[in-house]
Amino acid sequence: MNLDAMLDDLEELVLCESYSSDHEAVARSAQVVGDQGRRLLGARPETIVLGGVTHLRWSFGAPRVLLLGHHDTVWPVGSLRDHPWSVVDGVARGPGVFDMKAGLVQLFHAVASLPDPDGLTVLVVGDEELGSPTSRPLIEGSASGCAAAFVLEASADGGALKTARKGVSRYELTIHGRAAHAGLEPERGANAGVELAHQVLAIADIANRIDSSSRAGLTSVTPTMLSAGTSTNTVPAVGRVAIDVRVPDAAAQARVDELMHALTPRTPGTRLELKGGPNRPPLDPTASADLFEIAARIADDLGLGPLRGVAVGGGSDGNFTAGVGCPTLDGLGAVGGGAHASGEHVVVAQMPVRAHLVAALASHVLSAGGGRP
């Protein structure tokens, strides 16, 4: 595979910013991604717009192998001004270069190298960074019945594949109180800010109630964004907290949900309103085990060196494919680091290497016939 051509394609994708919450930017990105895929795959994608979000799918015959990625990023439009595209000393930088535009380039070049893509489905969604609210049914439907799903998300440290992921739940807790003048008659209010403080402490303790000493740290329940009040001399009438939850298994995810719904107010005159719930099921190691063994053998045959597999806390659309029973191997995308941060980068020499690995994996499963790999 031609590294110069891959870098040209990567530059094209990075220069088309695709902030998840900007549907127009995502639609422009889908056009660029679709044109690049059409050129390399020799076929037009199916363009699917759900809830204003643009997704792309290429289908080659009866589906057997799903190659999965996303073209949205966490970087607001205009981020290129402070984080410009560059390739210096073998390292590419720019918004979304690692998560996961380099993975898309590797995906397209991998498929282009196959003599016959029959049995492949390529799905590129536009809202992964938001938790895939519109694309989840599309992902699950595309994965159902497939023998394997290969996720082109960025690799873990050192190029390790992601063989397990925690499940993800997301909540927003709103505290409804009663406003009053903070100087003249604070006693007439019901302070949503004070109640928010009580609830943040209760929420932060939920993980301790779930994890035993042997599993400590596997569940995290983290209050993140908080707000309360409208002015410095008013008792807050409303408070809000967002909560990020990561769990090792379905039982822990269900228990967190139960405890979140069991929260009760402590401040008289306040009430709680909870929204949200489980977002992504855990990607269990058993979903990746057989595919990782195959990948390790292929990497050895190709002289790519030993592969490592690791469990990570972050979720991806691979959680959904594994959740419908499709064997799933994740982290096959770019080698680099700094996802979502100013140091985001890709080691460009690894791009054709990873593309070769994906092509060989897809070929292996496609040639295996009708059963599981």
How far from chain centre, in Å, is Cα 50?
18
H/E element, 65: strand 65-70
- Residue 372's pLDDT band, with cuts at 50, 70 and 90, is low
H/E element, 112: helix 102-112
Instruction: Convert the pLDDT of each residue in 262-304 to its tens digit.
Output: 999 999 999 999 999 999 999 999 999 999 999 999 999 999 8
- Are 118 and 60 in contact by the 8 Å Cβ rule? The answer is yes
| Percent residues over pLDDT 70 in the chain | 97
Does the structure show a pLDDT above 70 at 371? no
What is the structure's pLDDT at 369? 61
328 to 152, 238, 318, 347, 371: CA distances (angstroms): 11, 43, 6, 24, 15
224's CB contacts (< 8 A; 6+ apart) are 241, 242, 243, 244
What is the structure's pLDDT at 1? 85
- When the pLDDT of each residue in the chain is averaged and rounded to a whole number, the result is 95
| Residue 30, phi then psi, degrees to nearest 5 | -60, -35
Instruction: Convert the pLDDT of each residue in 72-89 to its tens digit.
Output: 999 999 999 999 999 999
- Residue 368's pLDDT band, with cuts at 50, 70 and 90, is confident
What is the structure's pLDDT at 232? 96
Instruction: Convert the pLDDT of each residue in 171-220 to its tens digit.
Output: 999 999 999 999 999 999 999 999 999 999 999 999 988 865 445 458 99
Residue 161 pairs in a beta bridge with 309
177 to 185, 198, 211: CA distances (angstroms): 15, 13, 33
What is the structure's pLDDT at 212? 56
Does the structure show a pLDDT above 60 at 92? yes
Instruction: Convert the pLDDT of each residue in 26-76 to its tens digit.
Output: 999 999 999 999 999 999 999 999 999 999 999 999 999 999 999 999 999
The residue to which tokens 């790999």 are assigned: 373
Instruction: Convert the pLDDT of each residue in 217-228 to its tens digit.
Output: 589 999 999 999
What is the structure's pLDDT at 214? 42
pLDDT mean over 240-265: 96
Domains of the chain (ranges, CATH numbers): 3-166+282-366 (3.40.630.10), 167-280 (3.30.70.360)
Instruction: Convert the pLDDT of each residue in 127-149 to its tens digit.
Output: 999 999 999 999 999 999 999 99
Q: Are strands 345-347 and 53-59 parallel, antiparallel or unpaired?
A: unpaired
- Are 292 and 162 in contact by the 8 Å Cβ rule? The answer is no
| Percent residues over pLDDT 90 in the chain | 93
